[in-house]
């Protein structure tokens, strides 16, 4: 029995690492044009600002972990000069993040396939918890992107760069 438990821990840990890190990496293989072409998906909806205000997103978003450094784009601290190109890259990173977390939420249900049939209930609970965990990360991307788009427009109008925004 102990061997089975250890084996299931290894299988499930490997699955979740592959699901999360693999998905986060895979979204970067979609061409940037795909992200531009599907702006309808990334567009801010009229109700979103009210939701963000209601859940006080601005007060807790900085407390969640940020793994952009794994892909050489640290988003937590803006330590470099803010240019139009940097804003464009940051906007694209929010799209990578949103698609990645959304895909992780869906792909997490594949954990049902890596567990024995009699543990399907446990696998569904894990997949459900994963969906709940991914939602705040999607919301953060959607919250930040319109602000970055406005910043980018302001930079383009000024034709200059801003420091320490």
pLDDT of res. 74: 67
Q: How confident is the model at residue 94 (pLDDT cuts 50, 70, 90)?
A: very high
pLDDT over 70 (residue 65): yes
Q: Each residue of 1-46: pLDDT tens digit?
A: 788 889 989 999 999 999 999 999 999 999 989 998 888 999 999 9
Rounded Cα distance between 85 and 70, Å, is: 20
Inter-residue contact 162 to 139 (CB < 8 Å): no
Q: What is the residue extent of each domain of the chain?
A: 2-158
On average, the pLDDT of the chain sits at 89
Rounded Cα distance between 86 and 76, Å, is: 14
Inter-residue contact 64 to 136 (CB < 8 Å): yes
Question: Minimal CA–CA distance to 132: which of 108, 149, 156?
Answer: 108
């Amino acid at each position: 029995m102990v061997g089975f438990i250890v084996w299931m821990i290894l299988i499930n840990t490997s699955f979740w690492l592959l699901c999360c890190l693999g998905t986060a990496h895979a979204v970067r293989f979609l061409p940037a044009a795909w992200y531009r072409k599907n702006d309808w998906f990334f567009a801010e909806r009229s109700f979103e600002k009210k939701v963000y205000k209601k859940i006080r997103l601005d007060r807790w978003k900085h407390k969640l972990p940020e793994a952009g450094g794994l892909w050489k784009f640290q988003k937590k601290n803006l330590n470099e000069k803010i240019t139009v190109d940097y804003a464009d890259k940051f906007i694209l990173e929010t799209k990578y993040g949103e698609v990645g977390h959304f895909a992780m939420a869906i792909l997490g249900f594949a954990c049902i396939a890596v567990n024995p049939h009699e543990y399907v209930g446990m696998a569904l609970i894990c997949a459900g918890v994963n969906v709940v965990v991914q939602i705040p990360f999607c919301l953060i991307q959607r919250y930040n992107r319109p602000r970055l788009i406005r910043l980018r427009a302001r930079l383009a109008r000024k034709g200059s760069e801003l420091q320490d925004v």
